Amino acid sequence: MSSPSTMRPWWVLCIGLALAAAVPWIASEFVASVALGCLMYIALATSWSLFCGATRYLSLATSAFFGLGAYASATLLEVLPWPLVILSGAAIASAVAVLMGAAVLHLRGTYFAVLTFGMTELIRHAVTFVEKQVSGTVGRVLTVVPSNETVYLTVLAIAGAAIATALLVKRSRFGLALSGIGADEQRAQTLGVDTRRMKVMGFALTAAFAGAVGAAMAVRWTYIDPPAVFSPFIGFQTVLIAMIGGAASIGGPVAAAIVFSLLSETLRLQLPYGYMMVLGLLLILCVMYLPNGLASLWRRKAAEARP
């Protein structure tokens, strides 16, 4: 029988999803747009933390998976129903992640981070080349798009699925294997963990959510091109949000995504460069004084509160 402490995250998730689902009908279009941005980064940061927070691999490939999902959506939107478009974006990103992971997941640290960023740029230039050869242009115009409410509820469902998956993985043998890899990969191998397969599976799972988000968010623009959807800013902001919130936790990236999405909308209007300055300053402070992110403050307070 599940204990109240075990069920609490699920109740919080259900209540949060129910409240967020009402936003497009009770709030203004601007507020709904800001909420959509929050949900986008909640899904990206949570799914990134699911793998990278546990294994301590620093992946900079989020923008590659996001862009692949966006282009899948732009290509398939006129021939497939909306749910299959989202699933196609997730499947394509996940398949590329399997190939990428098989090639680079034997590396760690700076080498892995640099290679994932380099492969992201390679994918962006490859898509640009194919676009020029096939259609004679660099971007695509989206003429058939679902309603804003449909897009919002889709991203909300993806964000909810990312959080639910993170909760399930954290309590599973798969999550235990990923944590073991992060703690001591060689020791995990000696204990019988197929570390290569676990890493590729975790990397592909992260990519699937990023691809699904990219497929859903692509229709928010009437025109997409590689520099926009493969933007390094998407990947860097995802990593920064997850690290500042606490990549090893679930609630930390969610809270950080909400805070920084609100900050970005506020500061971009008044101080265009202020947002990145604040983000960089908080990252420096967290690395110096809170290496485990803001979530470590909550755990510290909870530990002090126990008798």
Is the pLDDT at 91 greater than 50? The verdict is yes
More confident site: 168 or 275: 168
pLDDT value at position 212? 96
Band (pLDDT 50/70/90 cuts) for residue 293 is low
The per-residue DSSP string of 225-258 comes to -HHHHT-HHHHHHHHHHHHHH-TT-SHHHHHHHH
Contact 50, 165 (CB under 8 A): yes
pLDDT, one tens digit per residue, over 109-155 is 788 888 999 999 999 999 888 888 877 777 788 877 888 899 999 99
pTM for the full predicted model: 0.89
Contact 94, 41 (CB under 8 A): no
Cα–Cα distance measured from residue 193 to residue 255, given in angstroms and rounded to the nearest whole number: 32
